[in-house]
Each structure stands twice: as C-alpha cells, then as structure tokens.
Structure 1
Amino acid sequence: MAGAASALFLLDIKGRVLVWRDYRGDVSAVQAERFFTKFIEKEGDPASQDPVVYDNGVTYMFIQHNNVYLMTASRQNCNAASLLLFLHRLVDVFKHYFEELEEESLRDNFVVVVCGLIDVCFSARYLMERDVDSFWTLQYELLDEMMDFGYPQYTEAKILSEFIKTDAYRMEVSQRPPMAVTNAVSWRSEGIRYKKNEVFLDVVESVNILVNSNGQIIRSEVVGALKMRTYLSGMPECKLGLNDRVLLEAQGRSTKGKAIDLDDIKFHQCVRLARFENDRTISFIPPDGSFDLMTYRLSTQAKPLIWVEAQVERHSRSRMEIMVKARSQFKERSTATNVEIELPVPSDAINPNVRTSMGSASYAPENDALMWKIKSFPGGKEYMLRAEFTLPSITDEEAAPERKAPIRVKFEIPYFTVSGIQVRYLKIIEKSGYQALPWVRYITMAGEYELRLM
C-alpha cells in the first residue's frame, strides 16, 4: 500500500513539536524538530516553499493552517499526494471538533481529543466492546487499538463524531462503532431519515484574472466546484448528467454550442470512478449534509467580466486625482451583485473627496485603498468614479518609490457560469421509492481578480 507515514507531527510557528505520533519507530520527534527548524532558518517562510522535502533519507510533507504546521515523515517511497491530502482532511476534522485549528486550541484540547483523533484517522481497526474505567485507560486503548501502521484509513468528521464525542474535558467512545466504519460506504451512516427529502446542488465558478499595466491578460482561468447539500433518507443512489462533450458525442448527440470540455477533474471519494471512466456517468451514494462532489479547472482564456480602467493625475505635489471607469462585459440579462472594487492610493493621502455615478465609495486608510461598492451591476453598463486626495507638501526625496498595488475586484453573478456548464439531470433512486426534490443553482464569483496600474 502506498502512502505509509512513519510519524505525524503538529508543530508551532517556530517549528517546535506540539503533538506527535510515532507509527514505525524510524523518525523521532527530535529529528523532525531539528530538520524543520533548520528549514525555517534556511528557506524563510515554509508556507512559500515546496510542501515535500527530502532530507537525509526522510521525506517530509507539510502544510500550514493558521499558526500550526501539520507534517508527516516517511522513510519509504511514499505517496506524497495521499499524505498531503490526509493532512488537509485532518485539518477539517480538527475544525469540526475545535471550531478552529490553532496552537491554543491544540493545547487546550490535547488530552481531550487530539490523540484519539489522530489515531482514528490512521486506523483500520475500531474499538469494539470495552469497559473503559478511566480517561487514561481510554487514551491507551485508542493509541494501541486504532493505529494501522501509518496508513490513512478514515477521515470523515461526521462519522467520527458518532463514536468520539467531546463534552467539556471529557471524551467518550461508543461501545460499538457506527455501521459506516465497517461498511463499504464508509462516508455515510445507515438509518438516516428525513421527513422531506431534498438535494441542493450549487455550481460555483471562480474567475482568476491577472491583467498587466498595458491591459494585456497574462493569466486567466476558471476554477469550478459542484457543491452539494443532501438531506436524503436511506442509502440513495444518485446519478448526475452534465453537458460534457465526450459524453454527448459518445451518445451521438449534437454538441454545437452546448457542450464543454472538462479538464483537471477531481471527485469526492463517493463517486464511482470506474463508471465515469467507462461511460462518463457520475454515479454515487452521497454523504449526508454538505460536501464537494467535484472540482474542475478550465485554462481557456476568459474575458474579464468586470473591466476597470484608472487614470491617476498629480496636479501638484500636494493634490492627486483618480478617475476610474468600471464596465461590465457580460450579457444584459445577467447582473453582478456585491461588487467591490479596491483602488490603491498613496499611504500618505488624506482628505478624500469622492463622487460616483453609482454605488458608494469610502476611504480605507488601514488598507491604503479606496473601496467602491456597487450592490447591483447589470450587464453592458459602465459607471464612473472620481476622487481627489491631498498629499503632504514635503516629501522625502531619498525615500524608495512606493510599490504600486493592483486594483482588486470582487463580485458575484447568480444564474451564470463562464464555462457554460449545465446540469442536464440529477436522479435520486432509493429502494423505498420516495420522491426527492433536486434544486440546482449557478453562481460565478471573482477569485484572484487583479488589474495592475501603470
């Protein structure tokens, strides 16, 4: 099996070990702490470095969340992607229990949950009928019985919470694990019941745009996700159909102007990958509640949905004027909402005088920016902003020139997708034969959306 870890470490911002669990006895906490401390000193901020580092026969894989580093170490030829994914899932589990993962929450909850959760997430065997008389006995049972030699086994927080429960500074483990732990469908428990069976599917696309000072697009991509919330009884079988060009062509259907090419697709573990590879059918038994069914990325050139031009004029050493034009470049039937345009201004600018043809603008000196907010921005419209600032009359001639920050844009466009993806059908089949209501919604939003100034 690929992906075996020798040990798991949780470290603070200085590389000191907060929590660690040894699985194979060939990487010590002292060894990992020395490596990470040297790595920080040598490379600077680890968050900006490669997440996989090989050193002296050991492969270290780490991620950062708030002021905590999560790291695995292995002396084997391991599956780095699998272990990195496990670390991200471990963050989700901790957040489920602690609300947020940070050094303080780890210290406060270490004796309550951390040891048990780490071992449960790496475990293939579960605590069956045990008489647990004390907290420490329970801890050792978890550490000894629930570790499977460093192989990631189970990381579904909702199922974990069914048999590892916390209350103040007390941890409980149910006498029997939930059926989901031993079933093939490990992400869903049996016996779920709802009075009203519903499925909500949100198709969310984020547009990442970077435009240089000459108005040329130097980066353009669309990152999409199919986000689901399922409230279904029993063990339902779901089938989802998209306007996938490969599928439509295989069925002999016309694809002119209606189909898209899906690239870089990643599925939730509930999706039957073999079925998708064979006939492009997305078939799955969904987890209960919220989850991301699928993510995808389109690297095709996307036209900026909201274009912003800015002219900066200095009328004298003590006065500056900014003229901004914002234009929506999508069809009139769509409307962008919650539009926010962040315009950088000099850090020493004061006394702003702002006029807009639509929306409101406010000066945010803590961000050295002017914030222009437009609640509703229909397609094919253009709005203007003009602002005057006072500058200090005396400047330091030896001061280094200020780095010009880019214009940043945020927005949401409901009932619209850049890629043109469409949900053709969403079928729910369950042996009891109940009728379920599927709801589908589309939304496009700004991701990393920046336009550089001259």
Structure 2
Amino acid sequence: MASAVFILDVKGKTLIARDYRGDVPMSAVDRFMPLLLEREEEEQTAIPVMTDQGINYLHVRHNNLYLLALSRKNSNAMTILLFLNKLTEVFAEYFKALEEESIRDNFVIIYELLDEMMDYGHPQTTESKILQEYITQESHKLEVQVRPPMAVTNAVSWRSEGVKYRKNEVFLDVIESVNLLVSSNGNVLRSEILGAIKMKCYLSGMPELRLGLNDKVMFENTGRSSTRTKAVEMEDIKFHQCVRLSRFENDRTISFIPPDGEFELMSYRLNTQVKPLVWCETVVETHTGRIEYMIKAKAQFKRRSTANNVEIIVPVPDDVDSPRFRCSIGVVAYVPEKSALVWKIRQFPGGKEALLRAHFGLPSIKNEEAEKKPPIAVKFEIPYFTVSGIQVRYLKIVEKSGYQALPWVRYITQNGDYHMRMPDPIRSSSRLPPI
C-alpha cells in the first residue's frame, strides 16, 4: 500500500501531493531528488525503488514529470509501480498529452482521480472508461449522482452494466510477430515468436466467454490426444485483468467477462527455432568505381499462403550514385536518406522465388574499405497463417438473455525485429552478369 502519491516536475518540485495514510511526513519528498541523483551516479541507471530512513521511494518517469509514491510499510513494489503507470495512462486519456502544463491546468480533476483511484493507499478503480462515466473533463468536478456507476461497486470494474447492441459480435485477431537474426553465413542466431490475441467485443449485457486454444499443457492435463491438432507450448503468458487466473491455473480454461470494445486479451512468447519465412541470399561485388548486388528472395512458407506488402531494405554505401535495377517481381527504389535500396513486393506467394540485381556507381575509394553495414531488414504480413500453429478451437459466449453472437477469428503473422546480416563484399575483376 502507498502512504502518499506525488507528481513532481523534472527538478523535483512538487506539483500535486495526496496523503492517503498520514504515516509518512510530507517533507520526505525533499529527499527524493538527492537520492535519485546519488543512485544514478553509483549505478549509472535510474532506480525505480529506493529506501531511505525507513521510507520507500517508488517512482516512474513520464516525459518531464516524476510520479512518486512513498510507503513506510513493506509494500508490494510491483503493485505500486503498476498503479503509477496506470495513473499516467488515465491522465493521458483525460488530458491527451501528459505534461507539466496539463498538470497545472487540471488540479481539480487530478485530485478527484487520485481520490477515486486509491483509497487509504489501496488501488481501486483504474479503468479510464469507467472513470470517465462520472468524472468528466469538462466540469472539472465530481458530478452529483444518485448512485455510483455499477462498475465501481461491481466486481467487474472493467465493464459497465446495461451495455446493449442490436447485433452482437466478437472479432478476435491472433497476431504473431517473428523476431529473427541471421548471420552473414546463413545461420540463425536468434529467433522467437511474440504473439497476442486482440479482441473487439460488441456484446450486450454481462456475457461470459470461454476461449479454447490448442494448448499443449491443457491437452496433457486432460489426457486428450493432440495427434489431430498440433499442440503449442506457450511461454511468458500475460492476461488482461478480466481473465480468471485461478480457473486457468486449474484446468487451462481461459474464462472471462470482456471489457466493452477493443482490448488485448493475452500475449505470449515462444522461444523456438523459427525457419525464416522470407529468406534472402545476397552477393555483393565491388569494383573500381562501382558496386553490384544480387539478391534472391524466397518465400519459405506454405504455397496456399501469400505474404503481403513485403519490403526488403538493403543498406548501401552512403555516397553511391547512378542506380540501376532489374527485378523479376515488384518495384525497387533507391532511398538516399536511408542509404538503402528498398525492394517492394505487394504479394509474394509461398514457395516462390524472386531475383533482384542492382548496380551503383561508387565514386569514393574509401567505401571499398568501409566498415560492415547494417543488416538487411525485411517487412511482411501473412494473413490466415500463424508460424507457431496456434489455433482457436472454440469461443463460447454465454449470456443470461440467451442471445446468439457471431464470433469472427482472423490469423496474421508479421515481421518483428527481422534482420539478415550481409556477407562481406567480393572484390573481383570479373563482375555479375550485366543488368
């Protein structure tokens, strides 16, 4: 629990202060900046949690502001830091930009929010959608209501009661980003899959949703065979607060009452060896006064899938000139401000290959001895496909009124941090076949 919360400017001057428990002297905030500077000198980095004279200082920095919580008890540091981050999100929702000026212009509403979001040092309602129902930016004061919104008194603080839609629908997107680093000799140095399940819920009432995935642990726990369906073992799973964690821990059922509208239900990671989906083989030849590239791109995924909006960004020396290109598919452009050529392929079917040849003039001799260039970067998006093989087995929607809802599921695989290092240039009197 937090004893007090402060908002400070970049020099440590107090802009807003709220004392919740009265067990910490408010003058203790004067020690924050000296402690922070002292720790940064010692550790060469910012420390979010510090202790001095029996008082814990926990802070986050946002733009030119510090949000600081003081606590005398042995509190849960992560809970308080999470609360401070939620404060920045809520303030940003209200004021558009969270800066020192917006703090000075909105004292009244900030104190109202601090009183609603924390009670006697314990975090309460932190969902901006719910807070905006009864704390309005226009009035700058708490409106008198007959009763507080149901979401405040209800255990489901992220959803209001009385939501109604003429057509009940759920849109579910399974989005996976592939992080990949390939060495200049073609070895995969690092690969992982970062996944997220995002939802848009337009459902009436207080529906109960249950989501089933081809989860390996669930198959093992229930003794079910996963021979028909490939099972996926997810790591570092993070859920939205609406998911019942105890239910998931017991039987791996993802059960929840969703927020209204758009939200991220869960994220996960697979630390696995990923076969590069878009592979690039590169040959670079340097000659006196010119440099030539030959790049072969391969779509190494199933033939029934197609990669959209593929971009292959190849770094070139800073002072090249006279670009000439020839490619079997797509379009190529030289982008001098990025010192790169950009090869764009609008649609790249699985199993296909494409070839690019590029020729540049190289007037400067020093570039022949240039240091290693940045790696090739690849961008792409493959709809109706997940590299991990994760599948939505079912999405059940139960609401006491008994209406029928339409669930829509979409799969997308895209690039994350996807790079391939280039081989060293070949110095040759011969040359690649002429363009």
- TM class, shorter-length: 0.7 to 0.9
- Of residues 304-313 and 232-241 in structure 1, the stretch that sits farther from structure 2 once superposed is 304-313
Q: What CA distance in whole angstroms lies between the structure 2 residues aligned with 1:311 and 1:20? A: 62
1:120 paired to 2:120: no
1:199-232 Cα distance to aligned partner (Å, 9 max, x none): 1111111111122223222211111111111111
- Secondary structure of 2:396's partner? strand
Confirm or deny: 8 A CA contact 1:247 1:280 kept in the other structure. yes
Shift of 1:425: 0.9
Matched, 1:214 2:210: no
The offset of 1:281, in angstroms, is 1.3
Q: Report Cα offsets for 1:129-163 as digits up to 9, x if no partner.
A: xxxxxxxxxxxxxxxxxxx2433222111111111
Partner of 1:448: 417
Change (3 A) 1:239 1:37: same
Measured against aligned partners, the alpha-carbon deviations of 1:294-351 in whole angstroms (never above 9, x if no partner) come to 11111121111111222222212x3222222221111111111111222222223334
Q: Tell me the equivalent position of 1:85.
A: 82
- Give the counterpart of 2:256 among 273, 281, 284: 284
Structure 1 equivalent of residue 5 of structure 2: 7
Contact 1:243 1:422 in 2 (8 A): yes
**What is the alpha-carbon distance in structure 2 between the residues aligned to residue 89 and residue 238 of structure 1?**
26
Which of 387, 402, 406 is matched with 1:418 structurally? 387
Give the partner amino acid of 2:326.
Answer: R
Q: Is 2:336 the counterpart of 1:337?
A: no
TM-aligned CA deviation for residue 439 of structure 1: 0.8
Tell me which moved more, 428-437 or 255-264: 255-264
Q: Distance in 2 between matches of 1:435 and 1:41?
A: 61
Secondary structure of the residue aligned to 1:253 is coil
Task: Quickly say closer, same or farther: Cα 1:377–1:171, change in 2 above 3 A.
Answer: same
Given the alignment of the two structures, is residue 312 of structure 1 paired with residue 279 of structure 2, yes or no?
no
Q: Mind listing any 5+ residue stretches in structure 2 that lack a counterpart?
A: 424-435
Please list the CA deviations of residues 324-383 of structure 1 after superposition, one character each: whole Å capped at 9, or x if unmatched.
222111111111111122222222333432332222222222222222221111111111
Alignment partners' CA distance in 2, 1:196 and 1:182: 28
Percent pairwise identity: 57
Cα distance in structure 1, aligned partners of 2:221 and 2:286: 61
Q: Tell whether the 8 Å contact from 1:409 to 1:446 is kept in structure 2 after alignment.
A: yes
Matched, 1:299 2:271: yes
Distance in 2 (alpha carbons) for counterparts of 1:321 and 1:396: 13
* Aligned mates of 1:54, 1:39 — CA distance in 2: 9
Equivalent-residue separation in structure 2 for 1:309 and 1:61 (angstroms): 50
1:171 pairs with 2:133 = no
Asked if the contact 2:24–2:71 (Cα under 8 Å) also holds between the matched residues in 1, the reply is no
Supply the AA of the counterpart residue of 1:235. M
Equivalent position of 1:346 in the other structure: 317
In 1, Cα distance between equivalents of 2:322 and 2:15: 49
SS in 1 for 2:137: strand
SS of alignment partner, residue 165 of structure 1: coil
> Unmatched 5+ residue regions in structure 1?
124-147
Given that residues 163 and 172 in structure 1 are in contact (C-alpha distance below 8 angstroms), is that contact kept between their aligned partners in structure 2?
no
Say which SS state the counterpart of residue 387 (structure 2) adopts.
coil
CA 1:342/1:151 → structure 2, altered by over 3 Å: closer, same or farther?
A: farther
Instruction: Identify the residue that residue 191 of structure 1 maps to in structure 2.
Output: 162
1:30 aligns with 2:20: no
The 8 Å contact of residues 91 and 98 in structure 2, kept in 1 or not, is answered as no
| Alignment-mate amino acid for residue 431 of structure 1 | K
Number of residue pairs matched?
A: 416
- Greater displacement, 239-248 / 387-396: 387-396
Match of 1:438 among 390, 404, 407: 407
Q: Does the Cα contact within 8 Å between 1:16 and 1:33 map onto a contact in 2?
A: no
What is the CA distance between 1:254 and its match in structure 2? 1.5
Measured in 1, the distance between the counterparts of 2:233 and 2:272 equals 10
Are residues 424 and 396 of structure 1, via their aligned partners in 2, closer, same or farther at CA, if it must alter by over 3 Å?
closer
- For the residue of structure 2 that corresponds to 1:308, the secondary structure is strand
Q: Secondary structure at the match of 1:120?
A: helix
Contact 1:6 1:75 in 2 (8 A): no
Match of 2:430 in 1: none
Task: Check the 8 A contact 1:356/1:386 in 2, yes or no.
Answer: yes
Letter in 2 for 1:89: K
Asked if the contact 2:5–2:18 (Cα under 8 Å) also holds between the matched residues in 1, the reply is yes
Opposite residue 374 of structure 2, the aligned amino acid is A
- CA–CA distance in structure 2, aligned partners of residues 61 and 154 of structure 1: 20
Cα separation, partners in 2 of 1:369 and 1:182, compared to 1, 3 Å: same
Q: Distance in 2 between matches of 1:21 and 1:308?
A: 57
CA RMSD of aligned residues (A): 2.9
2:195 and 2:114 mapped to 1: Cα distance? 31
Residues 394, 250 of structure 1: alpha-carbon distance in 2 compared, 3 angstrom cutoff: closer
AA at the equivalent of 1:374? I
